[in-house]
Structure 1
Amino acid sequence: MKSDFPLLPKIVNGGIAGIIGVTCVFPIDLVKTRLQNQRIGPNGQLMYRSMFDCFAKTFRKEGLFGMYRGSAVNILLITPEKAIKLAANDFFRHKLTDENGRLSIPKEMISGGAAVTTPMELLKIQLQDAGRVSAKGAIEGGEAIVATSATAIALKLIKTRGILGLYRGTTATMLRDVSFSVIYFPLFANLNKLGPKRKDGGSVFWASFLAGCCAGSVAAVSVNPFDVIKTRLQVLNKAKGEVTYNGILDAFIKISKSEGYGAFLRGAGCRIMVIAPLFGIAQTVYFLGVGEFLLGINKTN
């Protein structure tokens, strides 16, 4: 007979892991968003030549606080997302494990896919990309678009498109996140099994960290095309002359025709630099049992 699943401490673990992880890697995520959204200009050049060029230009123009543009929204979203996602994966693995303690690869993939949540990333994307759109407008001689707040964006969307406007790009987000989770969670679990264990049977912190980094890197690159499409669909404030898209298929066709298939890997390096440490940190904090510690629960019970 399976014991009850300790859901509350798992959720606390996931929430704390999300806050720590996103704070550490957010500037890289901002660079990733701007790289994915940039288009080839009239002269055939790109605004940013590489992730390092984008980071340097953004930091020089907007400063340290500019590198964290949209971070409050992201922390607000990522905390419940990580809390639910990590705890849900453990919950489904617990339920699908047979009486002999075995869990097949297909069931591991089901557990990962079932753990998906759809965070409202649209507000984060607008805030992260505001500097790129403003800079492009200034370079091309047009009016620079003034960066707005998450509240202003949300109110404008609700007024013009209704409450569903806040969920623009949800299908693309689900496509990316389901695919990511199906790859990531089984891969992490099997890599984590290879590492040394503590006396209580849990993994040592560095083994969970490395397993999270490796699994996150593989999954991040695998789903990067979906992330590019999602990001393009969620951008509302576009610079003059930039293409608009009417859904996932339309975005795929237009991007592949105008920019080539290589555009779907744009920002992949940044995604690795974001996802690898984010999930490495998150899994380490999660497996260390911070939630159990804060709630005064003995993990061995």
Structure 2
Amino acid sequence: MDRPGFTASLVAGGVAGVSVDLILFPLDTIKTRLQSPQGFYKAGGFYGVYAGVPSTAIGSFPNAAAFFVTYEYVKWILNTDASSYLMPVTHMLAASAGEVVACLIRVPSEVVKQRAQVSASSGTFHIFSNILCQEGIQGLYRGYKSTVLREIPFSLVQFPLWESLKALWSWRQGHVVDCWQSAVCGAFAGGFAAAVTTPLDVAKTRIMLAKAGSSTASGNILSALHAVWRTQGLSGLFAGVFPRMAAISLGGFIFLGAYDQTRSFLLELGRERP
């Protein structure tokens, strides 16, 4: 991937990530509290829905930038012909690689954010310093495996579906989709992927919120899923599914639309330079 393409992907991904995370933060807080083992109202209810937003504000740009740079770079390396039946596989591999890299930045931010969301009276920096003092760096990466195991299936559904919908829409109208059309495709793909991966999101939330030293805190995603199933059944596994779908559908619209718009603008700007 040439330098203009690399820079455009990095900046566009960062802009898209910050936009969606800050706009939809209250919905994410509500979803986290619905999934919390202490229950929605004890976790804060509708109070202080911007608790933990500094952690998100700091982590959003580098997290999204890392994902899209990796995503575009892997697509470029694989260099599959657009008409090839292997194209969806390329998108799956690129998205999976992007998630593994992005989670190195996302997980510490997510751990601090989620603990702030269910303890709105504690400040973000106070929670961050407590994790470092009590659990060390390992505490910031609690739930890394469960986050990757949530994000990879999510991306395996979302990105091939997004790219396929864009290709279908482009074919039907005879030209490349506009940015708003890309955003609509992103909303549909994101909402569908969010619904089917909600149990993995519940397990990830429980692991991140668990007390240090507990069996759940060990990070075993199957054990976390079994504990939820045993105590709350199917409804527990799909706790927060509607705010998650709403947030990610809107997020897909903003995130993927903003990414395409910003990347196209930056590439066009690069071409106009002498």
Question: TM-score if structure 2 supplies the norm length?
Answer: 0.84
Q: Deviations over 1:241-282 (max 9, x none)?
A: xx9624323222221111112211111111111111112111
Tell me if 1:112 matches 2:111: no
1:128 and 2:117 are equivalent in the alignment: yes
- Bigger radius of gyration, 1 or 2? 1
Structure-to-structure mapping, 1:1-301, within 5 angstroms: 6-39=5-38, 47=41, 58=46, 62=47, 66-98=48-80, 102=84, 103-116=86-99, 117-118=102-103, 119=106, 120=108, 121-131=110-120, 147-196=121-170, 202-236=176-210, 245=216, 246=218, 247-289=220-262, 292-293=265-266, 296-298=269-271
- Structure 1 pair 89/5, CA: closer, same or farther in 2 (3 Å)? farther
Change over 3 Å in CA distance of 1:80–1:202 after alignment to 2: farther
Identity %: 25
SS at match of 1:115: helix
Q: Which has the higher helix share?
A: 2
Q: CA deviation at 1:32?
A: 0.3
8 Å CA contact 1:5, 1:91 repeated in 2: no
The whole-number CA distance in structure 2 between the counterparts of 1:106 and 1:30 is 33
Q: Closer, same or farther in 2 for the Cα pair 1:98/1:270, shift >3 Å? A: same
Aligned in 2, Cα 1:3/1:74: closer, same or farther, shift over 3 Å?
closer
Q: Distance in 1 between matches of 2:143 and 2:241?
A: 19
Residue 104 of structure 1: how far off its partner (Å): 2.8
RMSD: 3.0
CA offsets 1:41-61 (integer angstroms, 9 cap, x no match): xxxxx749xxxxx99x51xxx
CA contact (8 A) 1:122 1:234 kept: yes
Q: 1:268 to 1:110 in 2, by over 3 A?
A: same
- Preserved CA contact (<8 Å) 1:205 1:288: yes
Separation in structure 2 between the aligned mates of residue 298 and residue 162 of structure 1, nearest angstrom: 47
Aligned-partner Cα distance in 2 for 1:262–1:220: 16
Q: Distance in 1 between matches of 2:31 and 2:251?
A: 14
Counterpart-to-counterpart distance in 1, 2:147 and 2:82 = 36
Q: In the alignment, is the contact (CA less than 8 A) between 1:12 and 1:291 conserved in 2? A: no
User: What is the CA–CA distance in structure 1 between the aligned matches of 2:38 and 2:260, rounded to whole Å?
Assistant: 41
* One-letter amino acid matched to 2:90: K
Q: Structure 2 CA distance, aligned partners of 1:179 and 1:293?
A: 30
Q: Give the TM-score of the pair, scaled to structure 1.
A: 0.77
